[in-house]
Structures are given as structure tokens and as C-alpha cells.
Amino acid sequence: MTVVIVLSSPDYTRESEALAARLGCPLTDTPSPEVDFYLEYSQDRLQLRPSGKNAPGPVFVDFVGGKVAHRLRQGEGRRSPLARAVGMKPGFTPRVLDATAGLGRDAFVLATLGCEVRMVEQSPIVHALLEDGLRRARETGELADIIGRLSLVQGNALPLLAALPPDEYPNSVYLDPMYPHKGKAALAKKEMQSLQRLLGQDTQGAELLQLARRRARRRVAVKRPARAGFLGGQRPDFQVKGVKTRYDIYLPQA
């Protein structure tokens, strides 16, 4: 998968050069249709843009507007399926490790409810998008407290979880592994299509689940499409069900 950083505006020359050096990606000011994706600073944000005719729109992290802001305005509360899945209840707000952060939307919602959430993202490119989204949200004073409850780590969650000292074990581990959609009826949204193309299919979900059960103090919550099979064929201890999504809940194992 070829990713090129495009210098779309001279205002972002320094940021683009630093990002190219960090990611080891070529930097150009003339996009070529031969590459798979472009990374560019545009409209004061970092975005990932698929190349080619009829390509879907850009992917970027937005904690201020869009879908995340809609969920915030709708007031997803402590009794929502997501909150119940990570073990939130009256008088208890869990510390959560989100081992498959993606675009950070669920982590942000949990942070709005008071959870301290440590996000882990393996892809350096998605991590850069998350970093940029956090930067822009941090500049919005009204979100400062929420963003202060989010931390971000780039790397493979397996060795990171394995190396956690006992005093840093989270109450809950949250997993939302990439799910392979098949057939026209199950086509992912355009944004998810781009991420699937960039990241490929999940290959370590089952192993990650097993390790997470040895690191979570209370539970592991796995987000799945409502009709999807169990992650790695491992039957959960119980489930929390939403309309289109369910959460398979696994209790800790020694």
C-alpha cells in the first residue's frame, strides 16, 4: 500500500516535512494517480485521501463536529450499550484500555462519561490522524476536560499489553477489530472502506482477546456487528446488545 504526503499548502510545509520524515513516506507537491493514498494538511486538519476515480472522500479524526459531536449532543449516557459494555455503573467509572483505537470515536464517548481511556493504535498513519484530531480538540476550550482523559500510544497492542505492570492493568479492555464485510448487502461505509483498504483484515484479534483477558481487572468488551461470529470463535460470558451492534463480554482469566 503506497502512501504519499502531499504538500497542498505552503502554510503546512514544516508539518508536512516532519510527518514525511516520521512516517518514512515520500513528500510531493504533485499528486500521482499511481499511489493508493495521499496524506495532506487541508482546512487546518490532517486527512487521508484515497486516490483514483470515484474514490471516497477523505478520512480524518474530528472530535469537534461530525458524528462524534452528534453522539455528544444526543447525550449517550451511562446506561448506553457502550457504557454498560465496559462495566460502567452507578458509583463506578472504569479505566479503559482501547486496544484498537481506530478513529477514536468510542474512546471519546467513554471519556465524555468520565472514563480515563488509553488508546492504542498500531497503524502509524491512523495514529497520526488521531494525534491531529486530539490537537484540534484540545484547542477547543470546552473539550479540554474530556481530551484530558484520553491518552494515545502508537504500537502493536499485543506486546504493549504483555509488558503492562500489574499496577497499570485497566479495569476494562475494549476491542473493536476490523471486521471483513462481504457482499453488497454488507458494504462498509466509505470511510470504513478506506480504512479496510489501508489496514487489511485483522490477523491478531483472537490472540489479543486471550491476552486482554489476562490483563483486564474486570472484563473485556468486544464490539461486533449484530450478526457477526464470535471473535476467534470464543464464546463470550454474556452480551450487551444494541440495534446494529453487539458487545461480547469476556470475564478475566488467570
* 205 φ, ψ (degrees, to nearest 5): -60, -45
Query: How many other CB atoms are there within 10 angstroms of residue 113's CB atom?
Result: 19
Which SS3 state, helix, strand or coil, does residue 235 take? coil
Amino acid at 51: S
What pairing do the DSSP bridges indicate for beta strands 117-121 and 96-98? parallel
What the block records as the C-alpha cell of 121 is 493504535
- Separation CA 169–CA 192 (nearest Å): 30
Which of 172, 116, 170, 173 minimizes the C-alpha distance to 147?
116
- Separation CA 31–CA 213 (nearest Å): 45
- Separation CA 158–CA 164 (nearest Å): 10
- Separation CA 201–CA 211 (nearest Å): 19
* 166 φ, ψ (degrees, to nearest 5): -55, -35
CA dihedral 127, 129, 135, 136 (to 10 degrees): -160
Per-residue confidence of the chain (254 residues) as pLDDT tens digits?
Answer: 789 999 988 889 999 999 999 999 999 988 777 888 999 998 889 999 988 777 888 999 998 876 665 555 555 678 899 999 999 999 999 999 999 999 999 999 999 999 999 999 999 999 999 999 999 999 887 888 999 999 999 999 999 999 999 999 999 999 998 876 554 333 347 777 788 888 877 789 999 999 999 999 999 999 999 999 999 999 999 999 988 899 999 999 97
